[in-house]
Chain A
């Protein structure tokens, strides 16, 4: 059974930092692209960042570039999101998800974790 379990969320002051983790199991983590998606309270979904299988390529939404860093540890089947210079508008539930490409190279976020809440407030 595929499982993605996020942790590390919490309350942080504006300008502060937080590191989110996502523990993966039930699939070959080292062969999978991974992603972070966030959802502000009562709002829609926003893609945040992707990372390639070996960590060589990373992509970010403009609003987090230079502040957030996505990384992974394939030996520990873990995905991370280092968030620095946090702002009130970063307040959201952060989901990790697997980015799956099928045999025809069609992408989708096929498995999701339950999310971890990050609140940026003084």
Chain B
């Protein structure tokens, strides 16, 4: 099983600041098979990024994904109030498909 480890667990930032979230895989994952989701309290997850770097429909361009192999990054260039949430990475490259434990971006 591919284990995804997200860091930091919590990121405390102010609106307008840049957020950088890391997702490290225990084994190499094809870039095509890495996605990022956003989840707000009481809501379902929402797809942000797929294929490591492709923005899903409706994802603002302040969100960007990068990385390859075992190291992937989600960057939010300038935090908006609605971006404070929990973010999950997910891999589809190995069975079973697994998610990271989540990373919370909170208002400082």
Contacts and interface: CB of A to CB of B under 8 A. Distances in A.
* A interacts with B: yes
B102 A95 contact: no
Interface residues of A, number: 21
A114 interface: yes
Contacts, number: 61
Interface stretch (B10-18, B20-28, B72-80, B88-96): B88-96
A114 B99 contact: no
B97 A95 contact: no
Given A45-B45, A61-B96, A115-B44, A104 B51 contact: yes
Nearest to B92: A107
In the complex, which range does the number of interface residues on chain B fall in?
20 to 34
Interface in A57-107: 59, 61-62, 95, 102, 104-107
Interface in A24-52: 37, 44-47
Given A44-B88, A45-B45, A45-B90, A109 B35 contact: yes
A107 B50 contact: yes
Given A44-B88, A45-B88, A104-B32, A109 B99 contact: no
Interface of A: 37, 44-47, 59, 61-62, 95, 102, 104-110, 112-115
Given A37-B45, A44-B99, A110-B57, 10 more contacts: A44-B101, A45-B37, A45-B88, A47-B99, A61-B96, A95-B44, A107-B35, A108-B35, A109-B90, A115-B44
